[in-house]
Structure 1
Amino acid sequence: MTVNEYMNQLKKRGYKKTDKREEMIRIFEREKRYLSAKEMLHSMQSTFPGLSLDTVYRNLSLFEQLDIVETTDLNGERIYRLNCSKGDHHHHLICLSCGKSRLIDICPLDALSEPPSEFVITDHKFELYGYCKECC
């Protein structure tokens, strides 16, 4: 999706199209990697000098609710990236150094011959962490 498509998606759902939200989406699109809220704030401070971390978190939370971004936790911190355009079930390899990710199509649940009868699985997450070729 393009920045304009994301912004139109916000507007269609009743949210204002703001310069800050648009800039956040532009940063995600440009970086093509997971970013922390602090990294996002740092990237935006030259354009929006009075921007607070709280505002960044509020917008990231909204983006997460609207499936604009996906999240994971790394070293006790939540990190964000634009939601993958790949619509089917998939998982990621995530570089611990630069935050770039790569899709992988394997799923550990495929190894289960049948789900446990005493447990209903509603969702899962599988991510592999390491270092990309550029960061090794």
Structure 2
Amino acid sequence: MNVEKAWETLKQHSFKRTKNREAILEFLAERDGYTAAMDVGEYLKKDNPGVSFDTIYRNLATFAELEILEETDLNGERQYRMHCDPGVHHHHFICTVCGKTKHIPSCPMDHIAVNLPGVEIQGHKFEVYGKCPQCQ
């Protein structure tokens, strides 16, 4: 997802274009992987020292809820990245050092569900963690 598509989604849900939202989206759009909320906050505080982490977390949560951002728990903290393909089911390999991601082209649930007869699967999350070639 790019920043303009993100603004279209926000507008459809009656969210106003603010300086903080703009800065968050621009910052994450430039990143190649997952980024910690604290890093987003440090970036915003350079130009707006009065911005609260509550504002940052609230906007990140809203963006994730609207599928503008993907979120994960990496190294014990919530991290975010621009959504690759909203509405399309997919999974990632995530580098535990730099946060860069690589798309996994198939869903492992196709194989796992075979071993779960009689259950109703309502959702899942599958991420593979390790070190990318540059961080090894």
TM-score strictly above 0.5: yes
Q: Distance in 2 between matches of 1:112 and 1:134?
A: 31
2:40 aligned residue: 40
C-alpha offsets along residues 84-136 of structure 1, whole Å, 9 cap, x if unaligned? 12753221010111111110113221223636344211111111111111111
What's the secondary structure of 1:112's corresponding residue? helix
Cα RMSD, aligned residues only: 1.7
What's the secondary structure of 1:123's corresponding residue? coil
Q: Distance in 2 between matches of 1:76 and 1:113?
A: 28
1:28 aligned residue: 28
Higher relative contact order (CA closer than 8 Å, sequence separation 6+): 2
1:106 aligned residue: 106
Distance of aligned partners of 1:14 and 1:113 in 2 relative to their CA distance in 1, 3 Å threshold = closer
Distance of aligned partners of 1:10 and 1:53 in 2 relative to their CA distance in 1, 3 Å threshold = same
The sequence identity of aligned pairs, in percent, is 41
Q: Distance in 2 between matches of 1:54 and 1:113?
A: 39
1:72 aligned residue: 72
1:10 is displaced (CA, Å) by 0.7
TM-score by length of 1: 0.90
1:75 is displaced (CA, Å) by 2.5
Q: Distance in 1 between matches of 2:121 and 2:20?
A: 38
Tell whether 2:90 aligns with 1:85: no
Q: Distance in 2 between matches of 1:74 and 1:91?
A: 15
Aligned AA for 2:124? H
Q: Which runs of 5 or more structure 2 residues have no equivalent in the other structure?
A: none
What's the secondary structure of 1:7's corresponding residue? helix
Q: Distance in 2 between matches of 1:130 and 1:55?
A: 31
1:11 aligned residue: 11
Any runs of at least 4 consecutive aligned residues in structure 1 with deviations exceeding 3 A, and if so which?
none
Q: Distance in 2 between matches of 1:40 and 1:15?
A: 20
1:73 is displaced (CA, Å) by 0.9
TM-score by length of 2: 0.90
